[in-house]
């Protein structure tokens, strides 16, 4: 793959210098902080303009996941770290298997804590990681690149598309190679950064907001919430046990101490505990009822 030239990168919105911030090195700390805060306030609006594209991508991802597919994020640098962060939060929040939502960063795990020079330019490695993950037609691959030109990410998306996977490109510029490579292009254009070219700032925030939507709404569509409760939360520590008990209490109207007792009888599974209380059954029957309704709490509570 041809790598982007310095000239082509220079025209990107994320590479421009904003004259409003040209004298930040001479300003008091509080004034710099206020300037950054003002700049950051524009990010949600930029993401908001991309909501139709985000929504279409999520519906397509959720449909494939319902048939057994996985969701793989691929990024480099800050984008890759955000990819791994979002993916790693899905198992504790939504009770997913670690393989269901995966984050891939150029340069591998070492790149999470230290920059791996040249990793984002390795197009062959991007294609190779998709082959190594045995990506197929049921899977969805989301490439994330602020510039929209990182060769590793573009090549990963191109390879995934050749293998029949659904592909999404998340960038902070328009008309990028990543957008052209993907089935769904999401372009959250946030403009120049406070520190010129430092796309870990507004662009990073925009990407995090987009990933929040993709993972959260996909999980909602997969039945891993009930109302706005995370009913598949893994109660693996005291804080999460307390949260799980309060969720059971809120949904059923049962006092928290009783909700905690039933939760323990249910193996700390929120859905099972709720069904036990609402349907007046034991843990095994509650699990069977959930299984009969695709492990979705709403249908299990309403069903015969």
Q: Of the listed 15, 31, 53, 89, which one is catalytic?
A: 89
Count the Cβ atoms, other than its own, within 10 Å of residue 53: 19
Cα distance between residue 205 and residue 91, in whole Å? 22
Cα distance between residue 118 and residue 129, in whole Å? 16
Cα distance between residue 82 and residue 79, in whole Å? 5
Edge to edge, the sheet with strand 101-105 lists 101-105, 71-75, 140-144, 166-171, 184-187
Do residues 165 and 142 lie in contact, with contact meaning Cβ atoms separated by under 8 Å? no
User: Active-site residue 187, yes or no?
Assistant: no
How does DSSP assign 221-271, residue by residue? HTT--BTTB-TT----SHHHHHHHHHHHHHHH---HHHHHHHHHHTTT-HH
Cα distance between residue 298 and residue 221, in whole Å? 12
Q: Of the listed 15, 53, 120, 158, which one is catalytic?
A: 120
Give me the torsion for CA of 116, 93, 142, 13, rounded to 10°.
-70
Active-site amino acid positions: 89, 120
């Amino acid at each position: 793959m041809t790598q982007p030239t310095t000239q082509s990168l220079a025209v990107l919105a994320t590479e421009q210098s904003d004259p409003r911030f040209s004298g930040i090195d001479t300003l008091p700390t509080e004034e710099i902080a206020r300037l950054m805060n003002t700049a950051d306030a524009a990010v949600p609006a930029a993401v908001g303009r991309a909501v139709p594209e985000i929504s279409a991508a999520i519906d397509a991802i959720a449909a494939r996941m319902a048939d057994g597919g996985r969701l793989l994020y691929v990024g480099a640098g800050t984008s890759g770290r955000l990819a791994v962060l979002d993916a790693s939060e899905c198992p504790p929040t939504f009770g997913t298997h670690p393989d269901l939502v995966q984050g891939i960063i150029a340069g591998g795990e070492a790149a999470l804590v230290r920059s791996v020079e040249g990793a984002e330019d390795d197009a062959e490695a991007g294609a190779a990681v998709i082959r190594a993950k045995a990506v197929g037609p049921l899977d969805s691959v989301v490439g994330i690149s602020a510039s929209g030109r990182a060769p590793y990410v573009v090549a990963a998306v191109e390879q995934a598309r050749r293998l029949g996977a659904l592909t999404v490109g998340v960038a902070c510029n328009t008309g990028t190679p990543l957008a052209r490579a993907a089935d769904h292009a999401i372009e959250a254009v946030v403009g120049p950064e406070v520190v010129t070219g430092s796309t870990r700032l507004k662009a990073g925030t925009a990407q995090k907001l987009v990933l929040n939507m993709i993972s959260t709404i996909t999980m909602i569509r997969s039945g891993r919430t009930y109302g706005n409760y995370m009913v598949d939360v893994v109660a693996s520590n005291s804080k999460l046990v307390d949260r799980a008990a309060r969720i059971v209490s809120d949904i059923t109207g049962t006092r928290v101490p009783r909700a905690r007792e039933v939760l323990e009888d249910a193996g700390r599974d929120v859905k099972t505990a709720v069904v036990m209380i609402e349907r007046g059954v034991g843990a095994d029957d509650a699990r069977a009822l959930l299984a009969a309704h695709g492990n979705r709490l709403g249908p299990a509570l309403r069903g015969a």
